[in-house]
Amino acid sequence: MYQYNKAEYLRRMQWFREARLGMFIHFGLYAIPARGEWVRSNEKMPEEDYLPFFHHFNPKHFDATQWAKTAKAAGMRYLILTAKHHDGFCLFDTATTDYKSTNTPFGLDIVREVLDAARAEGLRVGLYYSLLDWHHPDYPHYGDRNHPMRSDERHTNAGRIFSRYIEYYQSQVRELCSNYGKLDIFWFDYSYDHLRGEAWEATRLVNMVRSLQPGIILNNRLEVSGEGYGSLAEGNPTPYHGDFITPERMIPPEGIRNQQGEELFWETCVTMNNNWGYCRDDRCFKSPEMILRKLVESISKGGNFLLNVGPDGNGAFPPEAVEILSFLGKWMETNAESIYGCGRSSLSKPEFGRYTQRGKTLYLHLFENALGPLPLLGIRKEEIESAVLLHDYSQCPISTSWVHSDYPHITFLDLGPYPNLPDQTDTVVKITLK
Ligand code: GLC
């Protein structure tokens, strides 16, 4: 029986804090209609209109190794793949249903392909698993908040036995925890209305998951969703408490702390455009520069950053996603140490960017340059052992310029004569404190 133990909890969370940056992949049948992963619900699409996508699913450009190498090159340390989304389609060879990728023309166990490829690149792996299931006959239909047939009284819930669905979904989770090697994260999605906690028989589920996958970390969505923190934050952890909080498409303005002011583990999951699953007409991609600065902001507030890619119906990453990931990777080549294992600094946010910190090493992320020498509010000269530009590891000496002689109580750094920062998006100054 699982019981929360703080020391054990902190031990299993260590890699998560070190990793900081992960890739989320939303892939499945919904990539073919290409209107996002909620297309069945949004359009109240009957199953018979969705089934053709099952019969035609054959992503010819699917390349798990390419996906994993792209994640690795972008500086990601873990990869989370949808094993089953709300539509109930299983990307793994489950014995519980025929509604699975191995029964499509594609024929492969996508979970196995992707997890094997990710591990081969040295990435930690996780699986997203939807507690919702719009395919299963015993899952609530009429009157449910989300089901595609929620408004159609022909889909009454008479005869639906929810306990049968519980056995079904828990059997699938057992398969995933038994047949696919070591899992580092299980990313459940999501609790709503009365369907939360023991309504999912979550204690039984978590005891099974944690016995099959010792050391695994779980998100908080057996209890809540992107809304709500969960029982650990409230200081009263249930057996199925989340190990981390999962804000979605936003960054908690002040990070997340419990009622005692202790920092909590959280991971914001972020879409590059406005959809998790592939959406052909959603070209509202965030710029690479914005994504980088949001990554830095998340770390500066003590969180992880899970960046999503929604491959298209051919299994290819959208070109905008490839551009963003390549931009991130280029920056991480020089600056990754200012992300991995870093977190919030006790210093106030600097005027020209953000701080991330790891022990006695402070990283000043400059999104713009100061006019003249760079002021470091709150840091005394005597505290600084050294300061360098990570860009070329060139020294940034303490400035002795007369221009700031009226401000002897403020430390200024000399970044050299060139006014434009070497990296216009984020130039990092590594400050080693005594
Ligand atoms: C929300 C969406 C779901 C998506 C998840 C990712 O729960 O409903 O489609 O997979 O966010 O965090």
The string of pLDDT tens digits covering residues 325-362 is 999 999 999 999 999 999 999 999 999 999 999 999 99
Quote the mean pLDDT of the chain.
Answer: 98
Could you tell me the two tokens for 227?
């809304």
Average pLDDT over residues 315-323: 98
| pLDDT of res. 191 | 98
Helices 319-335 and 288-300 meet at what angle, rounded to 10? 50
Burial class of residue 96 (count of CB atoms within 10 Å of its CB; 0-12, 13-18, 19+): middle
Q: How confident is the model at residue 152 (pLDDT cuts 50, 70, 90)?
A: very high
Type of residue numbered 134: W
Mean pLDDT across 403-416: 97
Say if residues 276 and 244 touch (Cβ distance below 8 Å): no
Output the ligand 1 site: residues, CB below 6 A. 26, 37-38, 189-190, 226, 248, 269, 276
Residue type (1 letter), 25: I
How far apart are the C-alpha atoms of 21 and 16, rounded to whole Å? Answer: 9
Distance in Å, CA 407 to ligand 1 centroid = 50
For ligand 1, atom 10: residue with the closest CA: 276
Residue in 190, 249, 268, 306 to alter for ligand 1 test, most ligand atoms within 8 A of Cβ? 190
Task: Give the pairing of strands 384-389 and 394-395.
Answer: antiparallel
DSSP letter string, 292-347: HHHHHHHHHTT-EEEEEE---TTSPPPHHHHHHHHHHHHHHHHHGGGTTT-B--SS
- Ligand 1 centroid distance, CA of 431 (Å): 39
Average pLDDT over residues 307-323: 98
Q: Give the residue from 143, 24, 139 showing the smallest Cα distance to 88.
A: 139
Report CA(311)–ligand 1 centroid distance (Å): 15
pLDDT of residue 214: 96
Within 20-161, residue ranges assigned H as helices are: 39-42, 47-56, 64-73, 110-120
Cβ atoms of residues 44 and 148 within 8 Å: yes
Mutational pocket test of ligand 1: of 23, 40, 248, 271, the residue with most ligand atoms within 8 Å of the beta carbon: 248
Residue 86 CA: which ligand 1 atom is closest? 9
**What atom of ligand 1 comes closest to residue 190's alpha carbon?**
7
3-state SS, residue 298: helix
pLDDT, tens only, 360-386: 999 999 999 999 999 999 999 999 999
The closest of 78, 81, 82 to 124, measured between CA atoms, is 78
Does residue 27 contact residue 81 with C-beta atoms inside 8 Å?
yes
Confirm if 324 and 294 have CB atoms less than 8 A apart.
Answer: no
One-letter amino acid for residue 317 of the chain: F
pLDDT at 83: 99
410, burial (CB in 10 Å: exposed 0-12, middle 13-18, buried 19+): middle
pLDDT at 248: 98
What pLDDT, on a 0 to 100 scale, did the predictor assign at position 35? 98
Cis previous bond, 190, omega within 30: yes
| pLDDT recorded at residue 271 | 98
The one-character DSSP state at 44 is T
Partners of residue 130 on adjacent β-strands: 189
Nearest atom, ligand 1, residue 187 CA: 12
**pLDDT number for residue 160:** 98
CA of 216 to the centre of ligand 1 (A): 21
Structure tokens, 191: 């609790």
**Ligand 1 mean position to 189 CA, how many Å?**
7
| Residues contacting residue 296 through CB under 8 Å, at least 6 positions apart | 338, 339, 353, 354, 356, 365, 426
pLDDT at residue 213 in the model: 98
Give pLDDT tens digits for 180-235.
999 999 999 999 999 999 999 999 999 999 999 999 999 999 999 999 999 999 99
The per-residue pLDDT for range 282-311, each reduced to its tens digit, is: 999 999 999 999 999 999 999 999 999 999
CA 274 centroid distance within chain: 15
Amino acid present at 173: V
49-75 pLDDT, tens digit each: 999 999 999 999 999 999 999 999 999
